[in-house]
Amino acid sequence: MGGPEVDVPRVDPPPASGLVWLRDASGVDRTHWVAVDGRALGAQAIDGPVWAEGSALWQLVIESVDAPLYAEEPQPAQPAQRVGTAPLRRVVLRDLVANARLVAIEAPEPGPVRDLRHDVALVGSVGPFLFFVERLYVDAWGAHGAEDARAVVFDLRAGAAVDVATERERAAWAREAPAWARDLPDLEEDAGVSVVALWPRWAPDGLSVDLHVAVEACYACGDGEWSDYTRSVRVPLPRPPEQLAMPLPTWARDAAARVGGTLMGFTRVEHPAPAHVLDSLSR
């Protein structure tokens, strides 16, 4: 004899959808939730960049950490006099589904300084790879202060910073970098040449990636494009690195054209948990 009949309500699964991150002319970032058939989902865009990865929904959060400033360089037998603080940046990714967090870039520890400035810029994303450029200016009682820069690529799947280039790609770039930098002015013949960053750019026809090559230079010869002691050039690659090779889906391209602004990145929503959170965020 069978059990009692139970009327189970039917729950429609979330529509196949994606997230499209756009930056407007004033530099404001917003993320749009769209169906893969082109329909906009939700009544409004979400402030800031948001990415879906599996069952997670990651949102970028920039935290401020105060660092002390000193009037004079501390001495072993003399306590230092603090004269104020300067803000450092900590880059955090918050999972809106599981209420978890990842630290993508920790605030630096510059030690005692007279002045400092710290900034982290998110310059684009390719699938789960987020591209950051971090800049730190420090004045530690030398002849002058100096700014240093570094690139960080954070992989949402690994939860860590990664190198998206293969050994073969890095070796090829290293061989070609001196030729790319040959025409830069005010350089010593034996100046060190380094590939320091990748710059992704989405256009209607797909992804392009520029290679940033920096060459050692004197402080007065630096061009300010990277660290203070370098001159640099950006070189368009004939094709993206292998790990970044992915097509631009129609739904992301159409959303960018419809809304306007610069397409900075996109991810596919493939799990119902992020879709349910997105539904509440975009009402």
* Type of residue found at 222: G
More confident residue, 186 or 122: 122
- Percentage above 90 pLDDT, the chain: 80
**How far, in Å, CA of 176 to CA of 46, rounded?**
42
Cα 155 to Cα 174: distance, rounded to the nearest angstrom = 24
Computed over every residue of the chain, the mean pLDDT equals: 92
Give the pLDDT band of residue 38 (cuts 50, 70, 90): confident
Inform me whether the pLDDT recorded for 98 exceeds 60. yes
Paired sense of beta strands 230-236 and 206-216, if any: antiparallel
Q: Give the separation between CA 18 and CA 34, rounded to whole angstroms.
A: 6
pLDDT of 1 reads 47
Structural domain spans, the chain: 18-25+42-71+84-163+264-283
In this predicted structure, the answer to whether residue 199 has a pLDDT above a threshold of 50 is yes
Torsion on CA atoms 214, 218, 223, 225, rounded to nearest 10: 40
Tell me: the pLDDT tens digits for 204-217? Answer: 999 999 999 999 99
CATH code for the structural domain at 18-25+42-71+84-163+264-283: 3.30.565
CA distance 250 to 265: 13
13 pLDDT higher than 80: no
Question: For the chain, what is the radius of gyration of the CA atoms?
Answer: 23
pLDDT at residue 135 in the model: 98
